[in-house]
């Protein structure tokens, strides 16, 4: 029976081949220098990408090759030792940055070259009776090292993913707090964000299930609609930033299904990076106030929620109602503001408004049409009329000095 402390792989390795002779082990140890020198020469001759590396990167790879060969000799003496220390002993001397400049495919190509070098030296190291066992040991050892290399790259990828997520969270925090253009641009550049214009920000509920799968799924879909995308989970809220996308062409309904239950609010278009903080604040304020409009479409624009945002204390919404609706009507001719005020006060009655203003009903219709042209909001639509009514309230308060 195999003891519990002994690995299955080690037990199989011990049973698979007889113990090497002392002479073969001695010759292996004596050939470590030759094998290392030959391996480095092969790397330079057989792998073009190896020659193009920086000197420090070539030195690190050479150290890995030498360590791998010396570790093989130690393992050949005692095959039970490989699973526990091959990662740290072979790859421990390699800087983490190597996993960025050298792909896993190249790392395995390097391993294949080293195996070929060692196999080519087998006839000079072992007697003919032990050559087959030595070649088999080289293959088994290379398999363990290949798995170890894959593990190193997988861990590096996980670390980079976690670091990238933290960087994205810092960028979102910088956008929310309105950092200066230079600081924000440098943070965006650090995460690979290249766009400088046409940016949309969406805010929705974080799904109650696995937020990690949510982030990866929505990121994949976002690439169809935008040049750059950024996703960050902020507790029960999630933020999605899209750049260089024509909003009319993007089916945001597909994005909404990835978020949790509740509204999905999108910001007005941020023309530049400098405008991102204000767009983000509008989206956040819209998300906080969207519950006051149960019949709102999903997704809904932050600008469509001006009244709810204003009632919820958002100064940006109050300014928008004042500057984009009330002031233009106040400055327009033909009594548009007076007509709108009477129309809303008299229960949306054209005839009642006409009698109150001593004008014809067609004149009221014309003026209401002009209100729609000036503001973009139609008084004949119940929702638009509510927005216009809110603008009148905000404007009157501003005129009174409140």
CA 351 to chain centre: 57
Which three-class secondary structure state does DSSP give residue 190? helix
Residue 350's nearest CA partner among 390, 385, 396 is 385
Does pTM surpass 0.95? Answer: no
Other residues' Cβ atoms within 10 Å of the Cβ of residue 57: 17
For the beta carbon of residue 165, count every other beta carbon within 10 angstroms: 16
Query: Which long-range contacts does 189-195 make (Cβ < 8 Å, 24+ apart)?
Result: 191/164, 191/167, 191/230, 192/228, 193/228, 193/230, 193/243, 194/227, 194/228, 195/227, 195/228, 195/243, 195/244
Among 198, 203, 228, smallest CA distance to 301 is for 203
What is the dihedral angle through the alpha carbons of 351, 354, 360, 366, rounded to the nearest 10 degrees? -90
Residues 6+ apart with CB under 8 A from 70: 32, 36
Residue among 235, 239, 208 nearest 302 (CA): 239
For residue 156, what pLDDT is reported?
Answer: 58
Question: Does residue 266 contact residue 303 with C-beta atoms inside 8 Å?
Answer: no
- Judge residue 360's burial from the number of C-beta atoms within 10 Å of its C-beta, 0-12 exposed, 13-18 middle, 19 or more buried: exposed
Helix H or strand E segment including 146? helix 128-176
Report the pLDDT value the prediction gives residue 21, as an integer from 0 to 100: 77
Whether the CB-CB separation of 70 and 32 falls below 8 Å is answered with yes
The pLDDT tens digits for 205-232 are: 988 765 567 777 777 777 777 778 788 7
CA distances from 94 to 88, 253, 274, 311, 358 (A): 10, 47, 41, 59, 88
Digit-coded pLDDT (tens) for 229-288: 788 787 788 888 888 766 555 567 778 888 888 899 999 888 887 888 888 899 999 999
- Per-residue pLDDT of the chain in tens (402 residues, 90 and over written 9): 334 444 444 445 444 556 677 787 788 788 778 888 887 887 778 777 777 777 777 777 777 777 777 777 777 777 665 544 444 455 544 545 555 556 667 777 777 777 777 778 778 787 878 778 888 887 777 777 777 777 666 665 555 554 455 666 666 666 766 666 666 666 666 666 777 778 888 999 988 765 567 777 777 777 777 778 788 787 788 888 888 766 555 567 778 888 888 899 999 888 887 888 888 899 999 999 999 999 999 889 999 999 999 999 999 999 999 999 999 999 987 889 999 999 999 989 999 999 999 999 999 999 999 999 999 999 999 999 999 999 999 999 999 876
Q: What is the DSSP letter of 118?
A: H
Contact between residue 352 and residue 346 where contact means Cβ atoms under 8 Å apart = yes
Q: What is the dihedral of CA 37, 41, 46, 48, to 10 degrees?
A: 120
**For the packed helices 128-176 and 276-289, what is the interaxial angle rounded to 10 degrees?**
80
**Which residue stretches of 244-381 are H helix?**
252-256, 276-289, 306-311, 315-321, 327-331, 336-345, 350-357, 361-375
Distance CA 222, CA 272 (A): 20
* pLDDT, position 136: 83
Tokens of 223: 């690439």
* Local structure of 71: helix, strand or coil: helix
Structure tokens at 316: 């940006």
Structure tokens at 287: 């998300």
Helices (H) and strands (E) in the chain, counts: 21, 6
């Amino acid at each position: 029976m195999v003891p519990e402390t002994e690995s299955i792989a080690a037990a199989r390795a011990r049973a698979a081949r007889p113990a090497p002779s002392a002479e073969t082990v001695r010759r292996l140890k004596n050939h470590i220098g030759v094998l290392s020198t030959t391996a480095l020469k092969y790397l330079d001759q057989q792998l073009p990408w190896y020659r193009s590396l920086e000197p420090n990167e070539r030195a690190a790879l050479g150290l890995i090759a030498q360590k791998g060969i010396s570790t093989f000799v130690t393992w050949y003496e005692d095959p039970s030792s490989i699973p526990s220390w091959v990662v740290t002993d072979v790859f421990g001397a390699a800087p983490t940055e190597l996993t960025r400049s050298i792909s896993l495919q190249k790392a395995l190509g390097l391993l294949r070259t080293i195996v070929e070098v060692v196999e080519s030296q087998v006839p000079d190291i072992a007697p003919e009776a032990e050559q087959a066992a030595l070649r088999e040991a080289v293959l088994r050892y290379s398999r363990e090292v290949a798995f170890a290399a894959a593990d190193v790259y997988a861990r590096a990828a996980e670390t980079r993913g976690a670091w990238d997520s933290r960087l994205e969270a810092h960028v979102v925090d910088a956008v929310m707090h309105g950092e200066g253009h230079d600081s924000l641009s440098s943070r965006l550049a650090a995460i690979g964000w290249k766009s400088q214009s046409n940016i949309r920000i969406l805010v929705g509920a974080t799904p109650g299930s696995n937020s990690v799968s949510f982030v990866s799924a929505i990121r994949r879909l976002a690439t169809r609609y935008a040049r750059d995308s950024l996703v960050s989970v902020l507790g029960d809220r999630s933020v999605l930033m899209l750049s260089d996308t024509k909003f009319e062409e993007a089916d945001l309904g597909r994005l909404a299904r990835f978020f949790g239950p509740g509204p999905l609010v999108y910001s007005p278009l941020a023309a530049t990076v400098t405008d991102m903080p204000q767009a983000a604040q509008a989206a956040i304020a819209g998300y906080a106030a969207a519950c006051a409009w149960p019949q709102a479409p999903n997704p809904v624009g932050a600008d469509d929620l001006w009244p709810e945002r204003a009632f919820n204390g958002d100064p940006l919404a109050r300014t928008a109602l004042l500057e984009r609706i009330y002031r233009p009507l106040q400055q327009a001719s033909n009594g548009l503001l007076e007509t709108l005020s009477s129309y809303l006060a008299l229960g949306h009655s054209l005839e009642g408004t006409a009698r109150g203003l001593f004008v014809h009903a067609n004149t009221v219709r014309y003026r209401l049409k002009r209100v729609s042209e000036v503001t973009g909001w139609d008084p004949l639509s119940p929702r638009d009329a509510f927005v216009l009514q809110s603008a009148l309230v905000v404007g009157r308060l501003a005129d009174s000095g409140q």
